A and B are shown apart, each in its own frame.
Chain A
Amino acid sequence: MEGRSWRWTDAHFCTLPSQTNVYGHAKILDSDGANKFLIASLVGKIFSVEYQRIFDKLTPFTREIQFTYIPGDDTEINAVDALSHCSHGKRLIIAIAFTKTEDNESKQFLNLYTPSQYGEEFNMENVAEECRLSLELYFVPYQLTHTEMVSNNGRETVFLLSGSDGKIHLFRECNSEHIFIEEDSGVFFPEFIASASCVHWLDIVYIDNYTRRLTAMGHQCGLLIASIVDVQKLEILRTFTVDYDSPITYVHFFTSHNEVSCPKFLKSFIREQRKMYRIGQKEEDERNPQVPEYHLLALSALEPAIVYEHVLQHGFTHSIILPDSNKFDAILCGSVTDIDFDGENEILIGTYGQELIAYKLNHSKTQRSRDEVNLSTDSCESKKIWHYSSDKKTTDPPSNPIFLPPRRVRSQESFPVSLESDNDRSFMDTKKELCASLKELPKNRSDMQAVEEGCLLWQRSFAYPVIGINKLDIMGDGMEDLIVVTLKGVHVLQPDLHEVAKVCLDRLQMLTDENPDKKEKDSCK
């Protein structure tokens, strides 16, 4: 993989008649591969971006979806969300929060759409026609998202809407007639009670087979709360908080690796092969299901992006600063995906300064001695680093210690001093210094569990501020495309497919190779 520079370019771009906001887009996942992307422009128009086959040619297709009960000109769409499955089977449900201005008075509403007709569960036109709930809201809607809720009846998917009243509102489908009602979110999500101000971004993941839940709430006041909740007892097991000086714009739990199960039709082949060569390897699916290590990406508008590692064990004590991430105006959005197909996830950040920045985390090992640390940083340097062009002024990334003490004080003093220095140096220079400083780490730091860092992998400018980064297989080919939302349009980004094809071919070749064990070793080199 080394030496391959993954340059993602526009596969398609669609313009919007008016600007959109950070909550104005949603992914529509369809198990048949016809994934779609929903984008709302501020002035009451909602578009669906998808790919269709026309005359056997893959063709990008953008169309406006006319949702009923959304009046045209005097409406501003605040947030959209879509979910493609629910307790009553596979069905598309679209939620839209909007503001309607009438006689100089603005009112907020939440509309929910889902089709009732059997067989038309995924027909967008049908969905748009059938409004199931139109509720007036007495707060300004912010993020509209959905999550699963574990109750006595099993698992069900609910909509969550954060509001200017500092609460998170829960909307639940109450019976099979597709009626939605609002319920007290605190009953099912006790961690929401702690929310201090308006929640800008909320992220929830379930772990340990839906027995525990990780919830992160990023607040307007800069407060970041992460909670571990026992789902059955509805008890908060642990809570971590940290206070930032600027609003939190995005929080996201992620793992450093993706777990993708082998396709069924391949499993038998691999099994046969293993038998043939008597390789005493356990079947992949027989391995002990390890609890993946969860990390938290926290983006605050004006501060460098931070990754809190191993949140389950360490809370907010192990953090990595992504160097120079705050040098392009406010940070607005993020995403975690594998953009170079090496099996490790990269972190993508979008800024108001029209930049998309991708960082690679050096996650290869967790427990390392000092020498290994040196090695790893060297290898990191040898990796393809995207330089800033010379006219861009870069400042020091945080030199040593990247390993930050837990921050609990609302002040700049707790920041590394080097962040404020404003020397113009190239990225490589600072990189070398960074590595040098790591080598000179004092002895007492050698016992630290992990010295990790993010290095800049890729950077791309856009014509407008980047307000959303999504990974979605919109082309239906198994590769996740990047869908970047800017203030004025939607970009579908694709890497050079011939390069991706080479990677695929090489890996298939390794599979078919007569001695997989040997080949695997080769591939590790």
Chain B
Amino acid sequence: MWRTVSFVERVEVEFSGSIFNQAITLGDFDNDKGNELAVGNIDGDLCIFKGKESHPWRKCTDLGMITCIGQGNLFSKEKIHLVCLTAEGWCHVFDVKPDRQEEDKKEKDREAEDDTYKTMKPFYSQHLPPNGKVMTVDDVDGDGKVELVVGYSDRVVRLFRWHSSGETTLDMDPKGTLTQEDKWQLAGQIGSITTNISKDGTPQLLASQPGGTYVILLPSAPFSLQGDGHGQGHSNGSRKDFLTTNFVYDPLVSSMTRNSNVSTEIIGAIRKGPINESSSTEMLYSLCTLDGTLMLVENGHILWSLQVDHQLFSLNKLDVTGNGKEEVVCCAWDGQTYIVNHSREVVRYQFEDSVAAFKAGHYAVAGNDNVPCFLYATFKNKIYIYYNIRLPQMASTNLIEVMDKEERTHELLSRLNIKAPTTKDMRELYHWCLYGWHAKT
């Protein structure tokens, strides 16, 4: 039986409407080092929540059917922007302004002013192909610039890159366009897209495929050879892409899964150890399926897999023990949440309601102090942020086991003339150490 825990400390925020699992994210949108929560619904409302406030800190309405929300410094600036993608194909980028300084407040104290301040407007919008359902904003080719990768409901993945047409400063609207640079036509529906760091330290783009499988989307190396006449490769480059197979399909465990059509999620770049550790930059990735398979993969090899009786729909990573290794966090529709570490030790948490969207990440509950948290969006117009998700260790352990791992223990025991003690002896000794010590002092 797996260890179960309960979390109590939470922030409850009000947000109505249907939410896609990809349309909720945690990030530092106002660049104050503290993370906020951004969430969008299918009615076009985008809200940012900050701290313990249950009402939106920033708001924008009538955006369309929001399917994905991401973050990144898309315009190659230091500043992180909020990227919002709608089913209609609109890509809205927001420049979230931090709260005004105290002096400003004194000057403009009117409520109306405050309201306009609360309302955000996209500072860049562009119409891209419609029906995007998953998105990642990340540097997928290791060139230091951030790309926008969108997976569509017609099994196509498109990669967009920002092309600046002049100097953009912080306060000005950006000049330039997002242009399609690459395109992949996949065989199955795309569950999610993620980036991973491969063995040689270069990033790779992965997209999950039905039945617990995935493809590695290769960068457009042959692109320049073939695509001479297509210039920067606008939408007319699609024909070329269609002809070349620029991805590697990894069937992984398709034989093991119960259903080859079951929808699959993937998350990459799971840290194997503390960041400073220079030994290996390779990272792990994990997949989960709706019929309850969860696995951790390293370079095509399955490290472990797990079968559960819950419908897993959201896959995340979070370091809950604080040891530098990121745990896999997986949530099912019914609220059952699994936290699994690299050695397959499982901790469960049961959220008491059905979950529409789930995210694990960091959030600043007070000030700019980011703490690990779980985010549950329910079907009852409420989002719960459970913060301070910290566990001293994953596996159930007791004092005898912890002491046994300490080298000093064995040395001390031999000096105390205790040889080959039984568990009972150790229990007696530690009990006396902890509770009978006042007799000595």
Q: Which residues on A sit within 8 Å (CB–CB) of B426?
A: 477-478
Which of B396-441 touch A at CB < 8 Å?
396-403, 406, 408-409, 412-413, 415-418, 421, 423-441
Q: Does A341 contact B (CB under 8 A)?
A: yes
Q: Does B5 contact A (CB under 8 A)?
A: yes
Q: Which residues on A sit within 8 Å (CB–CB) of B9?
A: 461
Q: Does A209 contact B (CB under 8 A)?
A: no
On whether the beta carbons of A33 and B406 are closer than 8 Å, the reply is no
* Bound-complex Cα distance A33 to B423 (A): 9
On whether the beta carbons of B408 and A10 are closer than 8 Å, the reply is no
Known contacts A33-B423, A57-B395, A500-B399; is-contact A266 B350 (Cβ 8 Å)? no
On whether the beta carbons of B6 and A13 are closer than 8 Å, the reply is yes
Q: Does A501 contact B (CB under 8 A)?
A: yes
Q: Interface residue tally of chain B, by bracket?
A: 35 or more
Q: A513: nearest residue on chain B (CB-CB)? A: B415
On whether the beta carbons of A12 and B396 are closer than 8 Å, the reply is yes
Q: Which residues on A sit within 8 Å (CB–CB) of B406?
A: 501, 505
Q: Does B8 contact A (CB under 8 A)?
A: yes
B54 to chain A, nearest CB (A): 13
B5 to chain A, nearest CB (A): 4
Give the segment of A252-260, A304-312, A313-321 that binds chain B.
A252-260
Q: Does A291 contact B (CB under 8 A)?
A: no
Chain A's interface: helix, strand, loop or mixed, by majority? mixed
**A12, A13, A258, A524: which contacts B436 (Cβ < 8 A)?**
A258
Q: Which residues on B sit within 8 Å (CB–CB) of A59?
A: 1, 3, 396
Q: Does A138 contact B (CB under 8 A)?
A: no
* Bound-complex Cα distance A258 to B435 (A): 6
On whether the beta carbons of A9 and B412 are closer than 8 Å, the reply is no
On whether the beta carbons of A477 and B6 are closer than 8 Å, the reply is no
B121 to chain A, nearest CB (A): 33
Q: B405: nearest residue on chain A (CB-CB)? A: A501
Q: Does B231 contact A (CB under 8 A)?
A: no
Which of B128-180 touch A at CB < 8 Å?
none
* Bound-complex Cα distance A59 to B332 (A): 23
Which of A39-86 touch B at CB < 8 Å?
51, 57-62
On whether the beta carbons of A509 and B399 are closer than 8 Å, the reply is no
Q: Does B391 contact A (CB under 8 A)?
A: yes
Indicate with 1 or 0, residue by residue over A4-29, a CB within 8 angstroms of chain B CB atoms.
00000111111100000000000000
* Bound-complex Cα distance A47 to B406 (A): 35
B207 to chain A, nearest CB (A): 36
* Bound-complex Cα distance A281 to B171 (A): 79
**B399, B408, B440: which contacts A479 (Cβ < 8 A)?**
B399
B430 to chain A, nearest CB (A): 4
Known contacts A9-B391, A60-B3, A461-B9; is-contact A503 B434 (Cβ 8 Å)? yes
A352 to chain B, nearest CB (A): 15
Give the segment of A182-190, A374-382, A442-450, A491-499 that binds chain B.
A491-499
Q: Does B4 contact A (CB under 8 A)?
A: yes
* Bound-complex Cα distance A68 to B441 (A): 52
On whether the beta carbons of B439 and A504 are closer than 8 Å, the reply is no
On whether the beta carbons of B436 and A520 are closer than 8 Å, the reply is no
Known contacts A259-B436, A497-B402, A505-B409; is-contact A489 B6 (Cβ 8 Å)? yes
* Bound-complex Cα distance A523 to B441 (A): 7
Indicate with 1 or 0, residue by residue over B362-395, a CB within 8 angstroms of chain A CB atoms.
0000000000000000000000000000111101
A167 to chain B, nearest CB (A): 37
A476 to chain B, nearest CB (A): 6
On whether the beta carbons of B427 and A476 are closer than 8 Å, the reply is yes
Q: Which residues on B sit within 8 Å (CB–CB) of A391?
A: 52
Q: Which residues on A sit within 8 Å (CB–CB) of B434?
A: 338, 341, 478-479, 500, 503-504
Q: B419: nearest residue on chain A (CB-CB)? A: A265
B386 to chain A, nearest CB (A): 10
Q: Does A405 contact B (CB under 8 A)?
A: no
On whether the beta carbons of B424 and A504 are closer than 8 Å, the reply is no
A–B Cβ pairs within 8 angstroms, 24 of them: A9-B392, A33-B424, A57-B396, A59-B1, A60-B1, A60-B396, A260-B435, A261-B432, A343-B438, A344-B438, A391-B52, A463-B8, A475-B396, A477-B427, A478-B433, A489-B6, A491-B6, A497-B397, A497-B398, A497-B399, A501-B409, A504-B430, A507-B437, A512-B415
Q: Given known contacts A263-B428, A341-B437, what 11 new A-B pairs fall within 8 Å (CB)?
A: A59-B3, A262-B436, A263-B425, A343-B436, A476-B400, A477-B430, A478-B399, A479-B399, A501-B403, A501-B406, A511-B412
B contacts, CB < 8 Å to A: 1, 3-6, 8-9, 52, 350, 390-393, 395-403, 406, 408-409, 412-413, 415-418, 421, 423-441
